[in-house]
Structure 1
């Protein structure tokens, strides 16, 4: 059973996975923040709600809480998801969320990183949603305020970060001055991603026009087209950030906030490494050295592979491919020790894997149309050792070839 709207209609939708997702209303937030709602949430939190128990658990919750059961169940499940994503940022066990808001919420390490860059500033989060960024900023910013046009999310933010001043406002109609404006346009609708920045809510072009000449920080999807952003008139810094081994976001820092001469920045939070396009990019291409290095995704996405290579004394296998090679592995990075170079012929690869007693096979591919999972199944490794195959294109035109490097993966080097 789901909550009812003003006309008594059930307010819910199906996400891209076909699962039913509750559309929260103000009455849901009012109930969930009441003494009765908090007591009910405490009871529902005691149910496992696992795949094995869900049918029985939901039936029991519905018997106890009738029309409020869906809001209680959804909130309990979202809190559990949020613990892994946001737990390092704040105690979110009592927070309120919507499904879309949690999906778009900034992961804790990234939010803390941004808050550090904004330390000491007056910051207005003009699309504050349920308050994730505010929770990070309140410990670093000189002053922080939030606003959002969505009345339900704003009500949730008032519950989640009660110590931050909040206002209801349209981000395209500024309500602050002399503040750094943080914006996070919605990039999802019904659980689906929006890829064209003009389809963001509010649209990225409108955001940039509205705040042109003001210090702004705008979150974007990591796959955003950098050229398209420049065509919209953005002339600041594009920062790509990774955490937990994944690229999390691209962030636009206006020229007023960008580092001196920096237009592209990659931040690898797992090892606290920053690479920018203000650094040298002298990087030759040549045959494989002792090691192959696959740069972090933030470095690749930011187009800073050559800068990273120059910093660490590495070189490229091919000028157009992101794999690097050298005689050492940078600290904090996993490398692949080259044991042999082979052609892309499955019989040859199968024999080589057998010779090295390969049982656990990792396949990395760049520049070549190869499905790693399908190839792994066909090669049928059955031994005991761990082997990596690095498959890549080398050269172009008549001299183009596909190379397969049989490697022994290393642990991360400190």
Structure 2
């Protein structure tokens, strides 16, 4: 095989992302971290886009067989900025970047391990190690993939001990274990935690006598965790308006009496199932509040309502209502309620001179994009509509609430 670990490069376009069908080698890492490789990366980074045949041809002309790894590394670094703003000189593989923890989320998790000796047994290219080294008393990293181990050593600049080891065969004792099992293989997502690499049930068994924190997909089945013997705390964390992960905290690391936690990094709010969940169900008030996805995914909607003096529109639906909006939360001020049919909604929106419409849906089989096209709005006002089900069975009613959306800073 030619230097650079690949004979060629194939670029695929999908939602403005460029992915290379390329496997990095240890030779690639050695080159990219050499003086020659660093200079070549700077040369390629100076090209504005790398999304055209001309730019790719320029790299090939200048760097020959090294072009594939230079282009891929440059593209990955550009993609990494949103997740890891301080990782401008890091090395990645595509799958490693996809699974890497966003810096604010990693920093939050690291704070819960402050002062501990921590072993990240699936350290990959080092995103979690970078956060842990700032809070933990001592940090060790390991991974089974030699290429990722080499990349992590470069990325962490020699500040953390990193070795090649199997997560299921511990090489440390007493340290708290952090793991982020791979949930992708050759581009395919793995939804069953028993198919993670390493498998979650195996990891829980091996670390049954250790303090353990495991990053999982946010959609993980809570019941399946119980079947695997997990008895700790599940924390659902959101950042930038999106649910990012579920983290499993073993009893030694979790809070006593807590089995579920929602952490909203955008507002700094945390909520647990140890709190009061007594809230009413009633008709819509002045405001509708759509709780953060972490609250919904953690099953803490009633707890959130009780904390903020809100009530549910329906006991099975996550929309809440109240006379005020919680601090730092976007509110939807109700201006009209009606039985939902497309005809009735179109007429009401016409009366309100609506031309731009945000559609929120829960409990009703409605595709917002398709509905928006069918409504054929022609007005000048921007509005929101909340479409939901009230009641169950024969008593179920589809309702639409036309609202003015009020930004966070202006919420009352």
Task: From the superposition, tell whether residues 310 and 163 of structure 1 become closer, same or farther in structure 2 (CA, over 3 Å).
Answer: same
Task: From the superposition, tell whether residues 270 and 30 of structure 1 become closer, same or farther in structure 2 (CA, over 3 Å).
Answer: same
Question: What does residue range 191-270 of structure 1 map to in structure 2 within 5 Å?
Answer: 191-270=187-266
Displacement of 1:192 after TM fit?
Answer: 2.2
Whole-angstrom distance in 2 between the partners of 1:49 and 1:229:
44
Contact 2:237–2:264 under 8 Å retained in 1: yes
Displacement of 1:213 after TM fit?
Answer: 2.2
Displacement of 1:189 after TM fit?
Answer: 1.1
Please say if 1:97 is aligned against 2:92: yes
Structure 2: stretches of 5+ with no match in the other structure:
none
Displacement of 1:22 after TM fit?
Answer: 1.4
Q: Deviations over 1:52-95 (max 9, x none)?
A: xx2111101101111100000000111111112111xxx31111
Displacement of 1:50 after TM fit?
Answer: 4.5
1:152 to 133, 147, 150: 147
Contact 1:4–1:11 under 8 Å retained in 2: no
Displacement of 1:3 after TM fit?
Answer: 5.4
Counterpart residue number, 1:390: 386
Instruction: Give the total of aligned pairs.
Output: 406
TM-score (norm 1): 0.95
Whole-angstrom distance in 2 between the partners of 1:190 and 1:348:
48
Structure 1: stretches of 5+ with no match in the other structure:
none
Counterpart residue number, 1:22: 22
1:378 to 368, 374, 380: 374
Whole-angstrom distance in 2 between the partners of 1:14 and 1:42:
21
Q: Supply the RMSD in Å over aligned alpha carbons.
A: 1.8
Displacement of 1:254 after TM fit?
Answer: 0.2
2:330 to 329, 334, 341: 334
Please say if 1:132 is aligned against 2:132: no
Displacement of 1:15 after TM fit?
Answer: 8.2
Contact 1:359–1:383 under 8 Å retained in 2: yes
Q: Deviations over 1:184-242 (max 9, x none)?
A: 00001122211000110000000000000210000000111011011100000000000
Whole-angstrom distance in 1 between the partners of 2:351 and 2:282:
28
1:56 to 54, 57, 63: 54
Whole-angstrom distance in 1 between the partners of 2:12 and 2:208:
35
Task: From the superposition, tell whether residues 2 and 69 of structure 1 become closer, same or farther in structure 2 (CA, over 3 Å).
Answer: farther
Whole-angstrom distance in 1 between the partners of 2:199 and 2:8:
26
Counterpart residue number, 1:44: 44
TM-score (norm 2): 0.95
Please say if 1:83 is aligned against 2:78: no
Moved over 4 A (4+): 1-5, 9-19
Question: What does residue range 242-391 of structure 1 map to in structure 2 within 5 Å?
Answer: 242-391=238-387
Displacement of 1:357 after TM fit?
Answer: 1.3
